[in-house]
Structure 1
């Protein structure tokens, strides 16, 4: 990986080590004014041979522009312990390293100060207060789980993430709301993308939902797309570009899966684990990328820098881990509406139809069928932890936004594995209120401590875990 702060030779003089004497067995290096001494002992020869190897590696590090590395420091120390010539080289290395570290420490702070001046200010003016009030209210109605963490974000980012989430929920309503006729889904997806990508009037989309019966929170939100878009249009170009790109990617992927028909057993199911992964990319992985674009802009990172690249590497894991946990938690609810996200092949491998997944007669085999999905979910949640820790610790609000749902998902996954309740409609897998409070306390207390967070994350998956607050 290319370091974010690449060094130029003039900033960190690689020539300093290029002039360093190489230790050669049987040969002594002299500097002006030195007294001749006895031939080096075998121990000295061996020490110099090791130093020569270390110098070669350090030269390579410097040539590559590495800003700081333990190998450079240890080489400088070793040089300082040998003889006057080596001390002068070591001093030059250490001074250059120190100067580089000062620049490296100052640069992110300066960038953050430049970006912070306008980046955290809410973009909601007086003319948008009523529409923004509707957006916040709708967010709480369609998702209490995410509404609170979103409110914790800095003002500008809160608005951007709220808009992104509401637009994703509108797409989700088109995909799987029971009241939306199959015949109009493709057209609605096309209209939604036209509104976001081409600036089309949202009124026809809204009018189409006026013809759909029902008055729940999801349908009301879809009918009020014009209000959401008025707030959306007031955002900066980076926010609008991110929302348009990833919401439309989601919508086009969802449209593929709306064409899945129930099979002979009456269930419309995914086919294989790769099919499940593809589905999760469209409905959740896209959200991970959307959030990443918004986070990178908010914290002032270079979009092509090391942190941004690493976040994108883990973005899909962060979002799909949460999605897979919900899929496992909602097995019986999905079956009740004739849908299964547990792949058919996993059920067939255990000798039963996916429609029998909740049948007590195949309970042991049902646990075996969902086991690969649990494994996949755990793998993705591990990536979600890495994603969360990549957020610089000084951006505590964004870290907490990521950590809180991750902690809940991790504990839910641990409770669900091997638990018959996941196949019982009236016995949902659910964290107790006391444990929820303890998990929140952990996140709030440890948000800036990476090592402690890793330790606590591992504990989430222990079979029995106290709901007491952390000690």
Structure 2
């Protein structure tokens, strides 16, 4: 019923939602026939449906390399995240993981649900990895080695300072950005040298996830490790867990805003990186997650719900972003719109208001100076229903029937 209300309120999101549903069903039917590749793409759908959608649009050779890159790092991350593994066992595995991806016989049981399946059947991923071109293999091996070493380092220490926060995010996400740039280069579809811009692409996404997932992570049993830096949260609470308690709501929101302001530091680098991309499918692959990140931060900012429940972009708006992101004009437009939403939520009483506004203005300046805002699509403005609600519901039901029919008939 909630989805129906959202569609009545935002009717312009209905058509993109239908298109996204059809595209997702089509992607599910494009799984390769070979057992090891079938496992990889099926697993990709289970561990990251949104990532699977954007990866399906890549050139076949690059698509395979990115799929395996993602699953290898997902497996590495599963080892890091499993709190039941003693540190003296976990650290050597993380440090040697880059060698295990060449060994179809290597096995280590850990994780839960679909991640346990991934680890139990990792030989399928290794088999697929061994079929990739040498340039792709070398890039994946190098990043896996560096990431494993970085994860091992932070297994034994907490994130105390902002510098350590940046370092940790570099190991677990900045290196992903660097690795993807290497894969793009190996495909000969892009000629970008991996640099600080690649790193910022990863940091922006990772910091957004860390902010958004506060409540899920703090409530996890067994207790999950938290990566909000003490240098930030200690200004507002005695312990990080204190932020979820109602009596600390004012300080919790101030801390949240401080974290969002820190994440905004990376936006200008991200815009520069995306503006240099030339291959349309790679551009969309990179741009859609970045727009989702700035949209999520705009929703999280000054929002106590981060400490009470789930904050995320509504499904229709997500579909609209996925369907409407085709050019750099769309990217500048969406970043400008979401930064306007964020700016409208800044309160003068917030201790970081001046710093936050300064970063928002820098982002908006980059968007304006691009000269492309006159071509932008608006994602921030609330769309108003232009037709009778009953008619909208009738159309929604009709399109749902069409989707059901296509699911049965689509080859």
> What is the correspondence of 1:126-145 to structure 2 with a 5 Å cutoff?
129-145=34-50
SS of equivalent residue, structure 1 residue 342: coil
Matches within 5 A, 1:142-291: 142-196=47-101, 199=102, 201-204=103-106, 206=107, 208-209=108-109, 212=110, 216-260=113-157, 269-291=158-180
Q: Give the Cα–Cα distance (whole angstroms) in 2 for the partners of residues 258 and 468 of structure 1.
A: 46
**Within-5 A mapping of 1:393-408:** 395-408=279-292
Quote how far apart the aligned CAs of 1:202 are: 4.1
Residue pair 1:414, 1:461 contacting (<8 A) in 2 also: yes
1:431 is the counterpart of 2:309? no
Taking a change above 3 Å as real, the CA distance of residues 300 and 431 of structure 1, as seen in their structure-2 partners, is closer
1:333 aligns with 2:216: yes
State the Cα distance separating 1:244 from its structure 2 match: 0.2
Determine the structure 1 residue equivalent to 2:303. Answer: 419
What is the TM-score with the length of structure 2 in the denominator?
A: 0.71
- Partner of residue 249, structure 2: 363
1:440 aligns with 2:322: yes
Summarize deviations over 1:41-85 as a string: whole Å, max 9, x none. xxxxxxxxxxxxxxxxxxxxxxxxxxxxxxxxxxxxxxxxxxxxx
**In 1, are the aligned partners of 2:305 and 2:311 still within 8 Å (CA)?**
yes
2:261 maps to what in 1?
375
Query: Is residue 454 of structure 1 aligned with residue 332 of structure 2?
Result: yes
Unpaired stretches in structure 2, ≥5 consecutive residues: 1-31, 345-379, 385-411
Is 2:275 the partner of 1:389? yes
Measured in 2, the distance between the counterparts of 1:381 and 1:148 equals 23
Alpha-carbon separation, structure 2, partners of 1:377 and 1:164: 25
Deviations 1:118-163 (A, max 9, x none): xxxxxxxx9x811000000111111112111111111001000001
Cα distance in 2 for partners of 1:222, 1:149 equals 24
Q: Which runs of 5+ in 1 are unaligned?
A: 1-125, 261-268, 303-307
Q: Secondary structure at the match of 1:203?
A: coil
Larger of the two Rg values belongs to structure: 1
1:466 is matched with 381
- Please state how far the C-alpha of 1:215 moved relative to its aligned partner: 5.1
Give me the whole-angstrom Cα distance separating, in 2, the residues matched to 1:274 and 1:370: 18
Q: How does 1:9-48 map to 2 (within 5 A)?
A: none
String of CA shifts for 1:89-109, please: whole Å, max 9, x gaps: xxxxxxxxxxxxxxxxxxxxx
Tell me, in whole angstroms, the C-alpha distance in 1 between the residues paired with 2:235 and 2:73: 34
Q: Is the 8 A contact 1:346 1:370 kept in 2?
A: no
2:9 corresponding residue in structure 1? none
- The DSSP-based 3-state class of the residue aligned with 1:340 is coil
Distance in 1 between the 2:50 and 2:382 partners?
Answer: 20
On the 8 A contact 1:272/1:344 being kept in 2, the answer is yes
In 2: Cα distance, 1:217 partner to 1:284 partner: 21
- In structure 2, the CA distance between the partners of 1:244 and 1:468, relative to structure 1 (3 Å rule), is farther
How big is each residue's C-alpha offset from its partner over 1:183-222, in whole Å with a ceiling of 9 and x where there is no partner?
42123224422224xx4x3423x1x31xx5x651112111
Give the Cα separation in 1 of the matches to 2:323 and 2:98: 40
For residue 176 of structure 1, report the CA deviation from its aligned partner.
0.8
Aligned Cα RMSD in Å? Answer: 2.1
